[in-house]
Amino acid sequence: TFQKFGVSKFFVWNICRSPIAEAVFRKMATDNGVVGKWVIDSGATSDWNTGSTPDARGLACLRKHVIETDHRARQVTKEDFMTFDHILCMDESNLRDLNKKASSVKNSKAKIELLGSFDPEKQLIIKDPYYGSDKDFETVYEQCVRCCKAFLEQHS
């Protein structure tokens, strides 16, 4: 048997960056034949967009790279901190919010880190493209590809 590792990526609204990261990671794990070792999900630190689909520009970016997603935004739960081995977030604000939430969970086992900490180009923060252009979503995609590839290589 093998141990299932959980990886989850969280962002405040869960409609821009994290759905891209989740879809990229799922595709890489599938392409590398290790998707069965992972529980892959994403969620938000707030409930603002619960149930929403990803931003249309993010979906267009993923389609351009032939990556599908059926993601719906959801809020992080206490169970996430007890279930997932890794919770990866996009910026310092996410990191603070998640660490605060985790501190109230008795049996939290999740290692909370910035997804950008795995970036070989050392771009630690993955900026929110919401108020930007299609190019900003492409930048998020490229960062997620680099970071997810490095994370997967390090943890497979």
Q: Which of 41, 55, 128, 146 is catalytic?
A: 128
90 Cβ neighbours under 8 A, 6+ residues apart: 9, 10, 11, 17, 18, 21, 114, 115, 116, 125, 126, 128
Q: What own/partner pairs with CB < 8 Å and gap ≥ 24 does 134-137 have?
A: 134/57, 134/60, 134/61, 137/16, 137/20, 137/55, 137/57, 137/58, 137/60, 137/61
Q: What counts of helices (H) and strands (E) characterise the chain?
A: 5, 4
The answer to whether 128 is a known catalytic residue is yes
Q: Which of 17, 26, 57, 146 is catalytic?
A: 17
Q: If we measure between CA atoms, which residue out of 91, 84, 81 comes closest to residue 155?
A: 84
The answer to whether 146 is a known catalytic residue is no
Catalytic residues: 17, 128
